[in-house]
Amino acid sequence: MGDEFLNLKEPYEAKNILNSLKLKKTVEMVDIRNCLGRVLADDIYSSIALPPFDRVAMDGYAVLAKDTFGASEDNPKALKLIEVIGAGDKPQKNIVDGTCTEVGTGAPAPQKADAVVMVEYTEKSGDDILIYQGVAPGENITKKGTDIEENNLLLKKDTVLTPDKIGVLSAIGMATIPVYVQTKVGIISTGNELVTVGEDIDYGKVYDVNSQSITSAVLSCGCIPISIQIVSDNFEALKNAINSLIDDADIIITSGGTSAGAGDILRPVIEDMGKVLVHGISFKPGKPTLIGIIEGDENKILIGLPGYPVSALMVFESLIAPFLRRTSGWKAVVSGPISVPLKISRRFHSSRGRTHQLLVKVQDGLAVPIQKDSGAIAALAHADGYLEIPKSTEIIEEGTIVEVKLFQR
Amino acid sequence: MGDEFLNLKEPYEAKNILNSLKLKKTVEMVDIRNCLGRVLADDIYSSIALPPFDRVAMDGYAVLAKDTFGASEDNPKALKLIEVIGAGDKPQKNIVDGTCTEVGTGAPAPQKADAVVMVEYTEKSGDDILIYQGVAPGENITKKGTDIEENNLLLKKDTVLTPDKIGVLSAIGMATIPVYVQTKVGIISTGNELVTVGEDIDYGKVYDVNSQSITSAVLSCGCIPISIQIVSDNFEALKNAINSLIDDADIIITSGGTSAGAGDILRPVIEDMGKVLVHGISFKPGKPTLIGIIEGDENKILIGLPGYPVSALMVFESLIAPFLRRTSGWKAVVSGPISVPLKISRRFHSSRGRTHQLLVKVQDGLAVPIQKDSGAIAALAHADGYLEIPKSTEIIEEGTIVEVKLFQR
């Protein structure tokens, strides 16, 4: 009992160690309808030009521009209508001197036509169209390939597929998209006191929070949670649970059993199966966090979170989530949509010597600190996010701007 | 032909009209494992107290505090060990004068025990435990209900279920959660020129972009896209397509066929089935946008987006997405995680008279304007988001801070 943490790491050291661990990245082809939030695994070149033909940009009449020169309200030019073409139609007739074709927006320009007169500047007169305003060559026709040329680099590898990028892939007709296989994360809650939600609870037991919160958090990082289990505080039981997940999961996250005290079994299990890289991080809450690895053809990463739900989730958000997003290929634009600068609502005293992760509520545009101990679920009920206070900071004055990291769905 | 927009609306007017339309909100019970991003449809009260019993906060020995008074390194107090209790165990014996129970963190405190001495301040000696430091009553025991009292309001209706909130619901053992039924959105692309991605393309045809980009955008708003169709530019075809979706969808979004020109059939179709509320918004791009309604027991909303993919997506993001998120009960904390303040990279001249939605790329922490016409897909390939320039603004000076709305996955 009382075996202390051998070598407490600073948060940045723990992040560096975690980020140095490489996971194999594999690629799969996925239907474009299921690609939202996935990450491109290949550079994408345009297989076609866009527009794929000289495209009419306005409803009107395709003409030879020179036939319209000098046209005015007082002196309209009459052109013979030879065809009517809408979007999706294929023109059959070439424009020759003195003729025009009625065209709709999006239609291919007829051969030889070099401009389109907007319908507003025309009038029908029997088989003729009267043109009241001249057009310059090229006007109202978007030339083939002016948007995107064939074989040009369109989207780079590692691009996150937001709706706009899915639009870009659709424009060149791609129905299946090469994306990275999502990282699979096994989740284990350890503790003899834990009961699965929905079941009856006996005296001395509590509901297992971490399985549900960590599962959701893994999903919000674009990864796939697999095989959620509760295991008892027992060396063999935990080792068996990890072994049952190790083939399918890239990462296994446990919670509980990481303090340096009685019933703390994760460390010996990892030492038995692989090696411990970090045990103890200078975080508040979250000190007993553990990072280990089982090396092989494919490295498997083991992460031990503290058992208290608030501690477990805070360590996940600040340490594990950025790593998981990176393994999924996810890259935030700027510092990311998950962080907003807000003024703190009151003077706050931080604890020295450890990086403090402070839960906050956002109210009237201010970050309001929530002070509860890390065993308290109520804090999570009120929190909108958290801020990271460096260990060197003792006091944050009221009104100071802080970066609030918002909880993401 | 040439039927002009009757009454061009300002963007805020169009938003107000859209927001005034009420959709029925129904509730369903969903497994907590599938609740990420869903929205609570009920206030949730704690069905149990947390902790549900007086809980041991440290590994050590449960005692009567008074038995430890005066204990020191030089003068330890000896207490008889009567039981060993770990987390999840149920104590069988009461603490009486001169006795103690070994307890693990998370275990229920034995009856009558009023404090726990940390293991660091003790030593075993035969059947006795030597206590080297006194504890005050209440020390290292978290009393039942101090985190959350029974029957207290825990989470409010309309809360978005992020991982932390899912943790809170787990703590009280809820396995199924009352959430709002997600809004269902029918999606129709109109245009004789459109071909589904993955199919061969003939001269004069283009791939249907809007079906894919709008489907993804609907998903990113927490709504369910249903029955994606391409229909031709034809009154009966469009009316039939809308009719086939109207029972299942709460909202139907079409694209194309909204300009005031040839082949523009959505307006007459809506006038035939219900009524047009908005046709024409002072937006750039996106002027031809249309909002209509079919009134009934349940209102059905019809939205006509422009056919050009960039215009369609921009109008969706700025006008429709906030509405859809609200119908899903989704509420952003502060102005939302989707907006970041950035400096603009260069002086920008905006077009007067219309609200300008400018695509931007985020580069080196700056918002770099992308200037392409609204028919250009290439703009989307480079864009990270957009900013909304009010119609009264003509020039934005280099270095001005602008709010960039990031595209969301």
User: What ipTM was assigned to the predicted interfaces of this complex?
Assistant: 0.85
A205 near B CB under 8 A: yes
Q: Which of residues 243-302 of A touch B (CB under 8 A)?
A: 259, 261-263
Measured in whole angstroms, the distance separating CA A373 from the mean position of its chain's CA atoms is: 32
3-state secondary structure of B292: strand
Clarify whether residues A196 and A231 are in a common domain: yes
Clarify whether residues B197 and B312 are in a common domain: yes
Burial class (CB in 10 A: 0-12, 13-18, 19+), B383: buried
How many CA atoms lie within 13 Å of B55's alpha carbon, on the beta-carbon side? 23
Whether the CB-CB separation of B249 and B186 falls below 8 Å is answered with yes
| Smallest CA–CA distance from B177 into chain A, residue | A198
Clarify whether residues B176 and B187 are in a common domain: no
Q: Which of residues 103-122 of A touch B (CB under 8 A)?
A: 104-108, 119-120
Scanning B334-397, the segments in alpha helix (DSSP H) are 378-382
Q: Do B191 and A87 touch (CB under 8 A)?
A: yes
Burial class (CB in 10 A: 0-12, 13-18, 19+), B395: exposed
In a domain, A398, yes or no: yes
Q: How far apart are the first and last CA of chain A?
A: 40
For B286-303, the pLDDT digits (tens) are 888 999 999 888 889 999
CATH number at residue A137: 2.170.190.11
Beta partners for B229? B188
Clarify whether residues B21 and B32 are in a common domain: no
- In this predicted structure, what is the pLDDT of residue A312? 93
- In this predicted structure, what is the pLDDT of residue A82? 97
Of the residues B83, B129, B195, B197, the best mutation for testing chain A's interface (the one with the most A CB atoms within 10 Å of its CB) is B197
Confidence of residue B337 (pLDDT cuts 50, 70, 90): very low
**A–B: how many Cβ contacts below 8 A?**
321
Clarify whether residues B45 and B159 are in a common domain: yes
The letter for the amino acid at A321 is A
CATH number at residue B153: 3.90.105.10
Clarify whether residues A319 and A255 are in a common domain: yes
In a domain, A5, yes or no: no
B70 near A CB under 8 A: no
- In this predicted structure, what is the pLDDT of residue B338? 59
In the listed set B327, B362, B397, which residue is the last one of a domain according to the structure? B327
Q: Do B203 and A167 touch (CB under 8 A)?
A: no
Q: Which two tokens stand for residue A272?
A: 């038995």
Compare CB distances from A313 to B36, B167, B205 and report the shortest one's residue. Answer: B167
User: Which chain B residues are Cβ-neighbours of A409 within 8 angstroms?
Assistant: 36-37, 160-162, 222
Clarify whether residues A191 and A320 are in a common domain: yes
Nearest Cα residue to B40 out of B328, B255, B265:
B328
Q: Do A57 and B375 touch (CB under 8 A)?
A: yes
List b or e across B273-303, with b for residues whose CB sees 16 or more CB atoms inside 10 angstroms: bbebbbbbbbbbbbbbbbbbbbeeeeebbbb
Whether the CB-CB separation of B57 and B178 falls below 8 Å is answered with no
User: Which chain B residues are Cβ-neighbours of A337 within 8 angstroms?
Assistant: 337-338, 340, 406, 408
DSSP 8-class letter at B252: E
Residues in chain A: 409
Nearest Cα residue to A408 out of A255, A196, A206, A220:
A220
CATH number at residue A389: 2.40.340.10
Clarify whether residues A162 and A44 are in a common domain: yes
- In this predicted structure, what is the pLDDT of residue B3? 44
Residue B234, number of CB atoms within 10 A of its CB: 16
Compare CB distances from B209 to A155, A170, A385 and report the shortest one's residue. Answer: A170
Nearest Cα residue to A208 out of B142, B145, B87:
B87
- In this predicted structure, what is the pLDDT of residue B295? 85
Nearest Cα residue to A165 out of A11, A37, A58:
A37
Phi, psi (degrees; rounded to nearest 5) at B285:
-80, 170
For B138-156, the pLDDT digits (tens) are 999 999 999 999 999 999 9
| B262 pLDDT above the threshold of 60 | no
In a domain, A113, yes or no: yes
In a domain, A334, yes or no: no
In the listed set A327, A349, A367, which residue is the last one of a domain according to the structure? A327
Rounded to two decimals, the pTM is: 0.85
In a domain, B155, yes or no: yes
Of the residues B101, B132, B160, B212, the best mutation for testing chain A's interface (the one with the most A CB atoms within 10 Å of its CB) is B212
A330: Cβ contacts below 8 Å, ≥ 6 apart: A39, A160, A221, A222
- In this predicted structure, what is the pLDDT of residue B25? 84
Percentage of chain B modeled with pLDDT above 70 = 93
pLDDT, mean of residues B250-255: 96
Clarify whether residues A78 and A136 are in a common domain: yes
Q: Which residue is it, tokens 């660091």?
A: B120
In a domain, A108, yes or no: yes
Q: Which of residues 38-57 of B touch A (CB under 8 A)?
A: 48, 50-53, 55, 57
Identify the domain containing residue B119 by its residue range: 55-142
Q: Do the bridges between strand B275-279 and strand B290-294 make them parallel or antiparallel, or are there none, so unpaired? A: antiparallel
CATH number at residue B286: 3.40.980.10
The CA distance from A360 to the nearest CA of chain B, in Å, is 12
In a domain, A150, yes or no: no
A191 near B CB under 8 A: yes
The CA distance from B297 to the nearest CA of chain A, in Å, is 32
Mean pLDDT of chain B: 89
Give the containing element (helix H, strand E) for B278. strand B275-279
Clarify whether residues A100 and A162 are in a common domain: no
In the listed set A292, A327, A362, which residue is the last one of a domain according to the structure? A327
B67 near A CB under 8 A: no
Query: Cα separations (Å) of B394 from B355, B361, B388, B389?
Result: 11, 21, 12, 9
Q: How many domains does chain B fold into?
A: 4
The letter for the amino acid at A264 is D
Note down pLDDT in tens along chain A; length 409 residues.
Answer: 334 555 889 999 999 999 898 888 899 999 999 999 888 999 999 999 999 999 999 999 999 999 999 999 999 999 999 999 999 999 999 999 999 999 998 999 999 999 999 999 999 999 999 999 999 999 999 999 999 999 999 999 988 898 999 999 999 999 999 999 999 999 999 999 999 999 999 999 999 999 999 999 998 888 999 977 899 988 999 999 999 999 999 999 999 876 655 557 899 999 999 999 999 998 888 888 999 999 888 889 999 999 889 899 999 988 998 888 877 665 544 333 357 788 999 999 887 778 888 889 888 889 999 877 656 788 888 888 888 888 888 899 999 999 888 777 6
Q: Do B204 and A120 touch (CB under 8 A)?
A: no
pLDDT, mean of residues B35-64: 94
Q: Which of residues 339-378 of A touch B (CB under 8 A)?
A: 340-342, 362, 365, 372, 375-378
Phi, psi (degrees; rounded to nearest 5) at A113:
-60, 135
In a domain, A93, yes or no: yes
Clarify whether residues A291 and A243 are in a common domain: yes
User: Which chain A residues are Cβ-neighbours of B262 within 8 angstroms?
Assistant: 59, 86, 104, 119
B399 near A CB under 8 A: no
Q: How far apart are the first and last CA of chain B?
A: 40
Clarify whether residues A117 and A193 are in a common domain: no
